[in-house]
A and B are shown apart, each in its own frame.
Chain A
Amino acid sequence: MATEHAGNAQQVLTPSGYIDHHLAFNAKSFGESSFWTLHVDTFAMSVALGIIVMGLIWLVARKATSGVPGKGQAFVELVFGFIDDQVKNIFHGNRHAFIAPTALTVFLWVLVLNSMDFLPVDWVAGIVSFFGGEHATWRAVPTSDINTTFALALAVWILMIFFSIKVKGLGGWVHELFYAPFGGAKFFKPKTAMGIVGLLLSPLLFVANFAFNLIEYISKPLSHALRLFGNMYAGEVIFLLLGMWAATGAGWIIPSAILGAGWSIFHILIVALQAFIFMMLTVVYLAMAHESH
């Protein structure tokens, strides 16, 4: 992918060249198949930001006092209380063991990853081309890389199945796949004509239940990952279009700057909201896995 975009990036002044250059990943291939590629920009940005944000929280948490909190601790406790309240309303088990800290990680991490959208796209490109040459590419927003959102969504999906099996047992989970949400043959009274018809038809219920659950298990990670990806990718593209508009003529710089500022302000809402939604869905999915039907 990097090579094909590098070709386009040579015609820097064409609109499609500009957009392609900004949407190209800094990819490193290390295998024969195209799967063995690492988006260095996505991975480096998310690891660095994860270390910074969780490290800052950790620096406060390790010195947390039960007495009068300092300003830093008060702020961290504000975030803590916000997440804890949300989780408490959805999940009614021992949330402190895993789900609440996971929600905190998801929310803060996704929030800072989304926030990279506020970095002016051309500044990032400028810095990168200063260090890496004219054709170097760098995508600053890891959540506009579908690999990131699917990594998170599939991790949550695996946790969901793990908790389902842990709470209900493997048999209970498989039973639920075939008996929920429409129930099984036990709802029909045997020894009557209708009961016999019901018994004969009951395998259809298993099929319906399993199909329903299958769709649910497929749609959950898809919608989870694509919602965040779509929002962040679209946000980035809009910034790129505004940047391109500014480049079409001197008279367009000011209107596009005003629109860019407006979109940035609106994007603050999207960045926070998408992080919140992603966190809430994570909690809801994990909480649902704990409930048996």
Chain B
Amino acid sequence: MNINFTLIAQAIAFAVLIWFTVKFVWPPLLSAIETRQKEIADGLAAAQEGKSALEVAAKKSEVTLNEAKQKASEIIGQAEKRGSQIVEEAKGNAKAEGERIIASAKAEIDQEVNRAKEGLRSQVSALAIAGAEKILRKEIDAKAHSEMLSKLAAEL
């Protein structure tokens, strides 16, 4: 149990080991661990951020969906209104058109009737003239006259 030079040798060895650890062993381990800790912390923060962003987005989408639903029902209402309006208009138009067609048909009929009347009148006068000619040619024969007149009358 004697103290000797071994003490100094061991102290030097100890100093060298400490120097080696301080210089070469501790710093790389420390930086690796600290970098990883920072990465993990960043990752967790990012995850938290993502989560809150997701919540915001979900809320936003719900609001948008509600708005869209409201808008859709508005549009449907407007469309229905517009549809019935169009039907009403079409009905009105159809009615007016029908009336117009009827009126024009009536006018045409009247026209046709008038034309026929005119034709008849001219034919009657022509017949009267023809009859008069025949009467004048064949002289007056009562029997014949009455027969002819009745014929004329029938032709009227």
Q: Which residues of A contact B (CB under 8 A)?
A: 1, 27, 31, 34-39, 42-43, 46-47, 50, 54, 57-58, 61-62, 64-67, 69, 73, 76-77, 80-81, 96-98, 100-102, 104-105, 109, 142, 145-148, 150-152, 154-155
Contact = CB atoms under 8 A, between A and B. Distances in A.
Nearest to B8: A151
B14 A54 contact: no
B10 A64 contact: no
A146 B6 CA distance: 9
Contacts of B3: 35, 146-147, 150
A156 to B, nearest CB: 9
Interface string B1-39: 111111111110111011011101111111111011001
A101 B7 contact: no
A102 B13 contact: no
A101 B11 CA distance: 17
A101 B4 contact: no
Contact of A65 (B11, B26, B30, B32): B32
Given A43-B13, A76-B29, A145 B21 contact: no
A101 B22 contact: yes
B5 to A, nearest CB: 5
B39 A66 contact: yes
B6 to A, nearest CB: 4
Given A43-B10, A66-B36, A147-B3, 4 more contacts: A54-B20, A100-B26, A147-B4, A155-B14
Contacts of B24: 58, 61-62
Secondary structure dominating the interface of B: helix
Contacts of B20: 54, 58, 105
Contacts of B8: 151
Contact of A34 (B2, B26, B30): B2
In this complex, the member of A80, A101, A148 whose beta carbon has the largest number of chain B beta carbons within 10 angstroms is A101
B26 A38 contact: no
A1 B2 CA distance: 9
Contacts of B30: 80, 96
A152 B28 CA distance: 26
Contacts of B21: 54, 57, 101-102, 104-105
16 contacts: A34-B2, A35-B4, A36-B5, A37-B4, A50-B17, A62-B28, A64-B32, A66-B32, A77-B32, A105-B17, A148-B7, A150-B3, A151-B11, A151-B13, A154-B11, A155-B11
Contact of B17 (A37, A43, A54, A69): A54
Contacts of A64: 28-29, 31-32
A255 to B, nearest CB: 31
B6 A42 contact: yes
A46 B32 contact: no
Contacts of A47: 13
A77 B26 contact: no
Contacts of A104: 21, 25-26
Given A37-B4, A62-B28, A96-B26, A101 B18 contact: yes
